[in-house]
Amino acid sequence: MKLGLAITQEQINEMETHIDNIDFEAAAKEEKATRHDVMAHVHVFGNQCPKAAPIIHLGATSCYVGDNTDLLVLHEGFQILLPKLAKVIQNLSKFATEYAYVPTLGFTHLQPAQLTTVGKRASLWLHDLLMDERALLRAKNDLKFRGVKGTTGTQASFLQLFDGDSEKVKQLDALVTKMAGFEKHYAVTGQTYSRKVDVECLIVLSSLGATVHKICTDIRLLANMKELEEPFETTQIGSSAMPYKRNPMRSERCCSIARHLITLCSNALQTAATQWMERTLDDSAIRRITLSEAFLSADVILMTLQNITEGLVVYPKVIAKHVAQELPFMCSENIIMAMVKTGGDRQVCHEKIRVLSQEAGAQVKQHGLDNDLIDRIKRDPYFEPIIGQLDDLLNPSTFVGRAPEQVLEFIKEEVQPVLEKYKYMSGPVELNI
């Protein structure tokens, strides 16, 4: 109307009056007859708005309706997910800070390795979540509107409506884009916006699924070691048969749904790969499933992970016991260096440590006894010059390197600036999970 087409304010008012008065039963009956979802609603809307009926869907296509709506929904979906992701990041940043200095066994190949700290391990989770926040935000901000492009993307029908005035067609495209809340529209489309857009959206969501799966797998493994537990209510039942069990069911749920989310990007990739020329309809049905399931899956794993990270329970004494079992083996190099400083021969010391370590290892593996390497060292006269230093050499905090400093620096320099973008968030959301 603003650009001069024969559309009246009365017609617009009539449509606005019925904008929320959707007759779904009539639309379903119409779709059964026409086998066309958009036209079913156009016909029903026309019956409700007889004065506006001649100009409803004027120059438009089904993809003008569907694709532009999808882009609005995708944009809103990211806006829903990002604050929830930020809340998980906030929870874990507090956890990492609290436990930045607590030594724990590091693992490579799932075998005990050099010590790290409980907070440092959580910072690895945080690092991946920050990557996800950046990726989701970028995907949201990269979204544009399809706008007004016509049946094959050439805007031919709109050029006819405006009697060949190309400038007015451009203005219409820009106006509709702005009214929809977007800053930009795609410069070129076929009948649909490029399905590569869906690929970009689903890849970042699938990547989030991989992150959550890794975090919750770590929690499940640590729960098996009784070092860490997710929240467990006093009335919660872990097993129907074994009353003593405390199963990590929230983490298991996250892993289960995350696996589904991870697979969904392949649907978007295949859809983008099989679009023929300006468009083929086999993208329609699968997109209705894939796009919604991806956002719903991401939503539920973030809500569940928020609940988990708000109530993680750490058992420092169990952690210290596991450290004590492995630390004697790890401190062998420190003992060798201390002996060399007192005038000892490195090769001689190395051989003595090797023999004593194997004897202690046999005690642990073959007889199920505690690691007694340090007792063996204390009983060996060769090590008498450093007996007084052993307690210091075995202090776990001296084996974690800069892990605590890394955690605090990382949170200050990288995590906090991200959380500043979401400082409008209120307190924790009450979840019934």
Q: What pLDDT, on a 0 to 100 scale, did the predictor assign at position 430?
A: 39
Q: What pLDDT, on a 0 to 100 scale, did the predictor assign at position 429?
A: 39
Q: What pLDDT, on a 0 to 100 scale, did the predictor assign at position 105?
A: 92
Radius of gyration of the chain (CA): 31
Q: 280, exposed or middle or buried, with CB in 10 Å at 0-12, 13-18, 19+?
A: middle
Are 52 and 14 contacting, i.e. CB atoms less than 8 angstroms apart? Answer: yes
CA distance linking residue 118 with residue 122, whole number of Å: 7
H/E stretch holding 244? none
CA distance linking residue 9 with residue 5, whole number of Å: 12
CA distance linking residue 203 with residue 265, whole number of Å: 5
According to DSSP, residue 188 is labeled -
Q: What pLDDT, on a 0 to 100 scale, did the predictor assign at position 63?
A: 86
CA distance linking residue 207 with residue 128, whole number of Å: 10
The tens-digit pLDDT sequence of the chain (433 residues) is: 999 999 999 999 999 999 999 999 999 999 999 999 899 999 999 999 999 999 999 888 888 899 999 999 999 999 999 999 999 999 999 999 999 999 999 998 998 888 999 999 999 999 999 999 999 999 999 999 999 998 899 999 999 999 999 999 999 999 999 999 999 999 999 988 999 999 999 999 999 999 999 999 999 999 999 999 998 665 555 555 555 557 889 999 999 999 999 999 999 999 988 888 888 877 878 899 999 999 999 999 999 999 999 999 999 999 999 998 888 777 777 888 888 998 988 899 989 888 988 888 888 888 888 888 888 888 888 888 888 888 888 888 888 889 999 999 999 999 999 999 988 665 443 333 3
Q: 386, exposed or middle or buried, with CB in 10 Å at 0-12, 13-18, 19+?
A: buried
Buried-state track 224-240, b at ≥16 Cβ within 10 A, e below 16: eeebbbbebeeeeeeee
Are 87 and 425 contacting, i.e. CB atoms less than 8 angstroms apart? Answer: yes
Are 301 and 213 contacting, i.e. CB atoms less than 8 angstroms apart? Answer: no
Using DSSP's 3-state secondary structure scheme, residue 228 falls into strand
Q: How many other C-beta atoms lie within 10 A of the C-beta of residue 111?
A: 9
Annotated catalytic residues are 109, 239
Dihedral sign for Cα atoms in the order 285, 290, 291, 292: positive
Buried-state track 349-379, b at ≥16 Cβ within 10 A, e below 16: bbebbeebbeebeebbeeeeeebbbbebbee
**Can you list the alpha helix ranges (DSSP code H) found in 190-245?**
196-224
Strand partners, 107: 112
Are 18 and 45 contacting, i.e. CB atoms less than 8 angstroms apart? Answer: yes
Are 106 and 117 contacting, i.e. CB atoms less than 8 angstroms apart? Answer: no
Q: How many other C-beta atoms lie within 10 A of the C-beta of residue 62?
A: 18
Q: What pLDDT, on a 0 to 100 scale, did the predictor assign at position 88?
A: 96
Q: Cα(first)–Cα(last) distance of the chain, in Å?
A: 50
Q: What pLDDT, on a 0 to 100 scale, did the predictor assign at position 234?
A: 55
Q: What pLDDT, on a 0 to 100 scale, did the predictor assign at position 388?
A: 85
* Residue ranges with strand state E in 196-314: 228-229, 313-314
Half-sphere exposure of 360 (CA within 13 A, CB side): 21
Using DSSP's 3-state secondary structure scheme, residue 247 falls into coil
- CA 163 to chain centroid, in Å, comes to 50
Q: What pLDDT, on a 0 to 100 scale, did the predictor assign at position 244?
A: 53
All residues at 6 or more sequence positions from 194 whose CB lies less than 8 Å from its CB, including other chains: 186, 272
Q: What pLDDT, on a 0 to 100 scale, did the predictor assign at position 283?
A: 80
Q: What pLDDT, on a 0 to 100 scale, did the predictor assign at position 331?
A: 78
Long-range contacts of 273-280 (CB under 8 A, 24+ apart): 275/190, 275/192, 275/195, 277/190, 278/152, 278/153, 278/190, 278/191, 279/63, 279/152, 279/190, 279/191, 279/192
CA distance linking residue 278 with residue 287, whole number of Å: 17
Could you give the domains of the chain? Answer: 7-57 (1.10.275.10), 61-229+245-313 (1.20.200.10), 316-393 (1.10.40.30)
H/E stretch holding 184? none
Q: Which of 343, 286, 304 is nearest to 212 (CA)?
A: 304
pTM listed for this prediction: 0.85
The owner of tokens 């063996």 is 376
Structure tokens belonging to residue 96: 């990492």
Structure tokens belonging to residue 345: 């021969």
Q: How many other C-beta atoms lie within 10 A of the C-beta of residue 418?
A: 19
